[in-house]
Amino acid sequence: MASDMTIREFQILIKNRYFETDSARGIAKTFLWLSEEFGELAHALGKYERGDADIENLREEFADVFAWLTTIANITSIDLTEAIEAKYIKEGGPKGTK
């Protein structure tokens, strides 16, 4: 698999692998899984901040959060590429700071 996968390609990969199970689980329960992954990412980031980083684990937790977020987008029929382009690219993106 190429290392320069697009967001759309990743979304299709996740849909092909997990859509049947994830859609049967439903949005609420799938969101709970995403929330759990955010907690694991928070823990890994805490270790990073303390200077005790496990970079491999941190990478895995970022990937997990992105995968579960993508799963919810699939369940709700949101094309992430289109959403990102509409929000952040078209017409110069959002104004102001985050």
50 within some domain: yes
Tell me what pLDDT residue 40 has.
Answer: 98
27 within some domain: no
Summarised one tens digit per residue, pLDDT across range 23-80 is 999 999 999 999 999 999 999 999 999 999 999 999 999 999 999 999 999 999 999 9
18 within some domain: no
Closest to 36 (Cα-Cα) out of 5, 65, 76: 65
89 within some domain: no
Instruction: Place 98 in a pLDDT band, splitting at 50, 70 and 90.
Output: low
93 within some domain: no
Instruction: Place 2 in a pLDDT band, splitting at 50, 70 and 90.
Output: low
Closest to 57 (Cα-Cα) out of 36, 46, 41, 71: 41
Domain total in the chain: 1
Determine the residue type at 57. N
Over the range 10-45, which residues count as b (16 or more CB within 10 Å of their CB) and which as e?
A: bbeebbeebeeebeebeeeebbebbeebeeebeebe
Residue 64 main-chain phi, psi, to 5 deg = -65, -45
Instruction: Place 93 in a pLDDT band, splitting at 50, 70 and 90.
Output: confident
* Segments forming the whole domain that contains residue 45: 32-77
12 within some domain: no
25 within some domain: no
Tell me what pLDDT residue 29 has.
Answer: 97
98 within some domain: no
- Give CB contacts under 8 A, 24+ apart, made by 8-11: 8/79, 8/80, 8/81, 10/66, 10/70, 11/70, 11/73, 11/74, 11/79, 11/80, 11/81
